[in-house]
Every structure is written in C-alpha cells, then in structure tokens.
C-alpha cells in the first residue's frame, strides 16, 4: 500500500486506525480503561504545562510521521512546529518532538522494541516516554548530542522532567483517578 492509499483508508475508516510501516498497514487495537485514563491524563497534563506557547500536544487520533514510510499513533505527541497547527487538514504530525506510549500487555513488547527503534531513528523525536499501567512507573529516553544515551525512570512521588519542551509534572498526576496501584506487588515467595 502507498502512503496516499493509507491516508485515504484513514479518512474513510471511522472505527479503526491503522499504523503505516514501510508499505504495510497494521490495525490498532483498543486498550483498557486504565490505558484510556492514563492517556487522557497525559494529554491534559502536557496541554496544561505547555500553556499558550509554541508547543502543543495531540492525542492518539493524530498520526506521527516518523519518516516518509512510517506513521504511528502514539498515545500523546508533542510538536513545537508551526506546520503542525490544528488548522491544517492533515491527519498527521510532521515534526514530533516528544512521543508518549502508554503500555499495555498486548503492546508493551512492540513499544519497547521495534516501535522504540522507529522513534529513535526519527531525527525530530527528542524524547520517548513509556508509561506503565500495571503499576505507576514512567520511563523517559532522551536524545543527546551523542545519540540516545539518556534514560531515566520515575515512580510514585517523583517528578517527570521533559527537557526538550521544558515541562515537569508529578508521576502521581498521570495516574489520578485511574486505580493503577503505586507498586507491583510481588506474588508471595518472589522478590
């Protein structure tokens, strides 16, 4: 399938979104209520912290263009490029700076593996954020002058920092009213 054929599919498909990777199309599965709540909280927090500045956040309804042949639907995407203003008729973010994936049992391996590699090869992406839904944990991968050399994990009580957009927020805010436990209790007898 060509990119233009994929775009036409996305315009006509009202129930299912499809990621486009190197000519192949993949239907996106729905998530849990915790996934939906954490994703909504993420977008609300980022939008609030970005205020009226040049950066804006989009939810998973907007595709992120990672290359001419790769388009994904992150749970949240931040762009600071005026070409990505909502007034355009495009369905995609051309210059994603921060991408956030809310993890689920069915997507975690893909989000940490192949999809992470797609984000790292996109020259515009400066930070890649993974947000857990089994327990309260956030991981931030950051591009530096030497490549993707920075990793930071955050837990309950910590404050997440996204340097590329000058934003800080408490981990606890991501999990507000979600029911996601603070920690993962190990089954009895396990450490």
Nearest to 171 by CA among 151, 183, 155: 155
Domain locations along the chain: 32-174
Helix (H, G, I), strand (E, B) or coil at 45: helix
Q: Please report the sign of the dihedral spanned by the C-alpha atoms of residue 126, residue 73, residue 23, residue 140.
A: positive
- Please check whether residue 55 is in contact with residue 84, taking contact to mean a CB–CB distance below 8 angstroms: no
Higher-confidence residue of 134 and 32: namely 134
Q: Is residue 103 predicted with pLDDT exceeding 60?
A: yes
- Please check whether residue 66 is in contact with residue 39, taking contact to mean a CB–CB distance below 8 angstroms: no
Task: Report the run of H or E that residue 70 belongs to, with start and end.
Answer: strand 70-72
Tokens 């203003």 -> residue: 85
**34-39 mean pLDDT:** 94
Residues of the chain with pLDDT > 70: what percent? 96
User: Please, which pLDDT band fits residue 14 given cuts at 50, 70 and 90?
Assistant: confident
Task: Report the run of H or E that residue 151 belongs to, with start and end.
Answer: strand 147-154
Q: Where are the alpha helices (DSSP H) in the chain?
A: 3-12, 33-50, 108-112, 114-121, 171-174
Prediction pTM value? 0.92
C-alpha angle 95/143/153, rounded to 5°? 115
Return the pLDDT at 186.
53
**143-155 mean pLDDT:** 90
Token readout for 103 is 């993890």
Distance CA 19, CA 22 (A): 10
Q: Is residue 134 predicted with pLDDT exceeding 80?
A: yes
The CATH number of the domain covering residues in 32-174: 3.90.1570.10
Return the pLDDT at 107.
86
């Amino acid at each position: 399938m060509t990119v233009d054929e994929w775009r036409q599919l996305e315009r006509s498909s009202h129930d299912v979104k499809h990621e486009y990777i190197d000519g192949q199309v993949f239907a996106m599965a729905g998530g849990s209520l915790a996934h939906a709540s954490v994703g909504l909280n993420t977008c609300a927090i980022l939008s609030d912290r970005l205020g009226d500045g040049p950066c804006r956040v989009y939810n998973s309804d907007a595709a992120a263009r990672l290359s001419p042949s790769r388009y994904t639907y992150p749970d949240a995407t931040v762009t600071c490029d005026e070409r990505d203003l909502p007034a355009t008729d495009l369905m995609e973010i051309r210059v994603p700076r921060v991408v956030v994936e809310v993890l689920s049992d069915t997507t975690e391996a893909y989000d940490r593996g192949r999809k992470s590699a797609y984000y790292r090869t996109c020259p515009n992406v400066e930070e890649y954020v993974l947000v857990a839904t089994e327990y309260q944990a956030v991981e931030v991968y950051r591009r530096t002058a030497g490549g993707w050399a920075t990793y930071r994990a955050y837990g309950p009580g910590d404050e997440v920092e996204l340097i590329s957009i000058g934003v800080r927020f408490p981990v606890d805010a991501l999990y507000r009213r979600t029911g996601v436990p603070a920690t993962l209790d190990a089954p009895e007898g396990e450490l």
